[in-house]
Structure 1
């Protein structure tokens, strides 16, 4: 039975209290419809909506209330309600009267029973269970869709428990921030089998609502994979009610289980052989919940420590794809085609896409830009917006006058809109009508619009095929363009609000044209001879002298680059000059006149920080020789700093070595 306990009096009382005036009537006259702007195009023959045809009074009340809710919340137009939805609900009511005449609510019937019986009824009445989709595939019958929608709606409507105790959580009722450019608003725990469902709900409640260690999107991703582990446990140990006896062998068996089950999920992964990424995510979620349970000493936690259950070797390596075979950014020639056809897009979506391309913001952050998102400083205009994924508030990027004008056009459009009162969150790109009013533009609607544009106006890649747009490819484009225009990787990192240079490097792929330009620059170069004189350089000759292939140098320009030139020596060969690489002669030559005290501490801290940042940069770009050159200096500076911190005082030669004596003083003087 349904977990929500209801009775006929409760139904009548709750529903009738919410239905007032026009909506409480059993006949809704079209001419008296109280929402004239939600009428739509209605056939002249339609004069009335008659609920008296529904013989079960309780079901009639529920259908009437659901209709009232959908019309007043702008989910339906009156025209679509009369032409489509009402008849399908009436058909469902006839089924309920015939098969379950005593029900006082649609949720009196277990959902699986209701669905199975209704499918048989539809088949008996020549109603197809699926319809072909115009773009291929099939979609569920609208008759089944209405049945599911009604059941879900009233399951929640009558359920007065706190949201976190339910099996489906609505993000709007949880009181936490969430991505308002997405339309999937529920956390659905029904995929987790009993008796472990409450355990997973407890974990998500703690990490999402109480400690707020994870986001709503992360919680959704966890649930997409977590069910597999508990499916495995229930199948393997049907009598278990906790995980106390979980052993290492169980983890190994689970890995085998995952590897031999088809991937579920969306159409592009369903029925596919599990990828390494899929296996990693499944195992990561298991480790995540076990670590949490053991950390907080839950009684359901495994007795064996998590580091003895799951080992690093259990995680397979993720497959790496050739970047040029799987281009992640929007290339220039594709963007030019978009600009040529921009006028064929909805004007708001066109403005959003241009801003997204110009700023490198994630699509969700562009959709959720505030109406007042422009800032002017002495050096020009900046766009201000939160970077929610990395929790950076009011991140700013410089923008051109042209982008400023586009933002101002959108601001004016929203400020003059007759429904601007629905923009409660003050978005630059809000939804002002319909069931999603008040939310931000849907990021999926942007992708859909771009791909429709590509299909209709033949936006083609280099192979002559329709280019498949993904919103994040515009962020990749931004990073690629900055790198190829010569911007320092750390500056790109700052502009893109990345938490590490490694994140930036995944976006910043140097194009072949840029590599060619850098290669050509090297052809016109100089070198230093053994006497210190500058002479014309020949890169092929230097390569041959050092036993390197010219082609190897061409494809490894980054790894041989130093801040002050190129090192045409194999990274496998030691540099004979590393011992002389300290730049400061006072330190390098142990000068007896050189002293350091604590007043210089800030200088050394700053220099050390700068060198450590440089080493990170060199590591990410594979510049091994640069690290070898800077490391001795860093070590020496740390030695000086640590001596100062330990309050040793003057750092340098001892007094008897430091001071001139006797003949030395005479010579110097």
Structure 2
């Protein structure tokens, strides 16, 4: 067996750029002879050849230090008579590697900044690399997809309801810790997938994972949904109401658990589960605060947005000018524009509800046409204007767009009117659009049509916010006028002096 993988054996090596072709390398191969057994050498060889089919050569070239460290680690396994990477479960290998790294002073974690600007502690690249090799080497799981603990949604044979800008590939049951309960939940989730959106299914599983963790800690005797009674459920509700990290989504969490457990009850004949819940179990939802960017905040954001790459700029400006939901902007189709006489019209396929049309300005139409031309030139005839670079049949993913903007905000240290670092809430652009429409004195029906609402109820929120903005902006002027009036009350007698004192007390109370 060859104890090396020559670069020329890799497909990516022959697809190098001209600059890479002029780069000199110390040795034109990956050295497999450093690994302790022929079987392990063969396993690494297969992995590297497979990687060469899909990765860039410059990416693979950086595998060298990982391979050297893994060779040093695996050399200690020679004494344990380990001949293959398939002889131990993945997590046992990872635990062993981490122990070796600790003993040799090699960092096992690093800090990663999330798209939201939070610091996350994650495994180092060496651990991730080894885990990827181990997963790739595992024999193909020939079981039915629904028997596995991680389902690949494309293999289920179900027509899924999903928002295309949040592409979900798998759903994971591994963190539902009780084996019997996990199998029961699988049956319920499979049934729910036929009638619920994938996003809803994800929230159901997240809620069940939380509930399962609580049961594992507080009620170890619970093995199946059959064992859950009202007393256990009430203990969980108390736990959620009293835990330090009380979340605003507790009402949704309770509803999602109830939905899954009632489905389990119907499937398995656990009739007590259908009688387990009371309407009073659902905590009242907090009314979300209706926020909107101020004119100054919009100017600050847009002044930096226009410095980003051209298609991202077009996407964000079009999003603001249309006043759509971000899912509707990212799923704009290549043929969305048409003309009626001299008027440009746009067809918007709302992911959440329906398709509607509305008139747009000439300037906006030209911007959309420019975005269409860019996509055709770079990706050919795609379905969507803003397309995923890796899979052009799908629209640009929201997390990709959000990551770009949040990265820009952190680099530029952009602050809102309160001095806080900007977040990135695309729906606030829609709120701003709605408020501006109300200030144009349009009627509720026209505003609802332009926003794509079926009903008029939501328009009142925009009108209320518009009135609040007017009140906030005029507060200084009103305060100045009040001071003038109070000054003129001097010498008008006790009755007017009482007015001044009452006003002063109210101001202090505020």
Q: Which structure has the higher relative contact order (CA within 8 Å, separation 6+)?
A: 2
* 2:146 is the counterpart of 1:164: yes
Aligned mate of 1:410, from 368, 371, 378: 371
* 2:76 is the counterpart of 1:95: no
Query: Helix, strand or coil: the match of 1:344?
Result: coil
**For residues 31 and 283 of structure 1, what CA distance do their matches in structure 2 show?**
52
User: Is contact 1:244-1:300 (8 Å) kept?
Assistant: no
Aligned mate of 2:268, from 274, 277, 299: 299
Matches within 5 A, 1:499-518: 500-503=455-458, 505=460, 509-512=464-467
Matches within 5 A, 1:277-288: 277-288=248-259
* 2:274 is the counterpart of 1:289: no
**For residues 260 and 57 of structure 2, what CA distance do their matches in structure 1 show?**
48
**In the superposition, relative to structure 1, how do residues 165 and 384 fare at CA in structure 2: closer, same or farther (>3 Å)?**
farther
Aligned to 1:472: 427
Aligned to 2:406: 451
**In the superposition, relative to structure 1, how do residues 313 and 178 fare at CA in structure 2: closer, same or farther (>3 Å)?**
closer
Offset at residue 339 of structure 1 (A): 3.3
* 2:246 is the counterpart of 1:274: yes
Offset at residue 287 of structure 1 (A): 1.1
**For residues 316 and 38 of structure 1, what CA distance do their matches in structure 2 show?**
63
After TM superposition, the score normalised by the length of structure 1 is: 0.62
**Larger C-alpha radius of gyration, 1 or 2?**
1
Matches within 5 A, 1:153-552: 153-155=136-138, 158-174=140-156, 176=160, 178-182=162-166, 185-193=169-177, 194-208=179-193, 211=194, 213-235=195-217, 237-261=219-243, 273-275=245-247, 277-294=248-265, 297-299=266-268, 301=270, 303-304=271-272, 306=274, 308-320=275-287, 323=290, 328-378=291-341, 380-390=343-353, 392=354, 394-417=355-378, 420=379, 426-433=383-390, 438-457=393-412, 459-498=414-453, 500-503=455-458, 505=460, 509-512=464-467
Query: Helix, strand or coil: the match of 2:253?
Result: helix
CA-to-aligned-CA distance 1:469-488 (integer Å, 9 cap, x gap): 22222222222222333334
**In the superposition, relative to structure 1, how do residues 250 and 97 fare at CA in structure 2: closer, same or farther (>3 Å)?**
same
Matches within 5 A, 1:26-175: 26-29=5-8, 33-37=13-17, 43-53=23-33, 54-73=35-54, 76-83=55-62, 85-96=63-74, 98-99=76-77, 106-133=85-112, 138-155=121-138, 158-174=140-156
After TM superposition, the score normalised by the length of structure 2 is: 0.79
User: Is contact 1:243-1:300 (8 Å) kept?
Assistant: no
**For residues 376 and 17 of structure 2, what CA distance do their matches in structure 1 show?**
21
Query: Helix, strand or coil: the match of 1:34?
Result: helix
CA-to-aligned-CA distance 1:419-453 (integer Å, 9 cap, x gap): x25x7x522112335xx555432312322333343
**In the superposition, relative to structure 1, how do residues 304 and 431 fare at CA in structure 2: closer, same or farther (>3 Å)?**
closer
**For residues 468 and 233 of structure 2, what CA distance do their matches in structure 1 show?**
48
Offset at residue 252 of structure 1 (A): 0.9
Offset at residue 251 of structure 1 (A): 1.8
Offset at residue 492 of structure 1 (A): 3.5
Query: Helix, strand or coil: the match of 1:149?
Result: helix
**RMSD over aligned Cα atoms:** 3.6
**For residues 242 and 47 of structure 2, what CA distance do their matches in structure 1 show?**
44
**For residues 37 and 315 of structure 1, what CA distance do their matches in structure 2 show?**
59
Offset at residue 78 of structure 1 (A): 1.1
**In the superposition, relative to structure 1, how do residues 329 and 102 fare at CA in structure 2: closer, same or farther (>3 Å)?**
farther
CA-to-aligned-CA distance 1:261-283 (integer Å, 9 cap, x gap): 5xxxxxxxxxx5222x3422331
**For residues 42 and 252 of structure 1, what CA distance do their matches in structure 2 show?**
69
User: Is contact 1:351-1:406 (8 Å) kept?
Assistant: yes
**In the superposition, relative to structure 1, how do residues 459 and 239 fare at CA in structure 2: closer, same or farther (>3 Å)?**
closer
CA-to-aligned-CA distance 1:532-583 (integer Å, 9 cap, x gap): xxxxxxxxxxxxxxxxxxx9xxxxxxxxxxxxxxxxxxxxxxxxxxxxxxxx
Offset at residue 292 of structure 1 (A): 2.2
Offset at residue 399 of structure 1 (A): 1.9
User: Is contact 1:59-1:93 (8 Å) kept?
Assistant: no
Offset at residue 38 of structure 1 (A): 10
Offset at residue 245 of structure 1 (A): 4.8
Query: Helix, strand or coil: the match of 2:225?
Result: coil
Offset at residue 69 of structure 1 (A): 4.3
In structure 1, list runs of 5 or more residues that go unmatched.
Answer: 1-11, 13-22, 262-271, 520-550, 552-669
Offset at residue 116 of structure 1 (A): 1.6
Offset at residue 44 of structure 1 (A): 1.4
User: Is contact 2:203-2:256 (8 Å) kept?
Assistant: no
**For residues 420 and 385 of structure 2, what CA distance do their matches in structure 1 show?**
34
User: Is contact 1:411-1:428 (8 Å) kept?
Assistant: yes
Offset at residue 219 of structure 1 (A): 1.5
CA-to-aligned-CA distance 1:303-331 (integer Å, 9 cap, x gap): 3263x4222222222334654xxxx3333
Count of residues in correspondence between the two structures:
464
**For residues 3 and 453 of structure 2, what CA distance do their matches in structure 1 show?**
55
**For residues 87 and 256 of structure 2, what CA distance do their matches in structure 1 show?**
36
User: Is contact 1:370-1:428 (8 Å) kept?
Assistant: yes
Offset at residue 289 of structure 1 (A): 1.3
In structure 2, list runs of 5 or more residues that go unmatched.
Answer: 475-502, 504-510
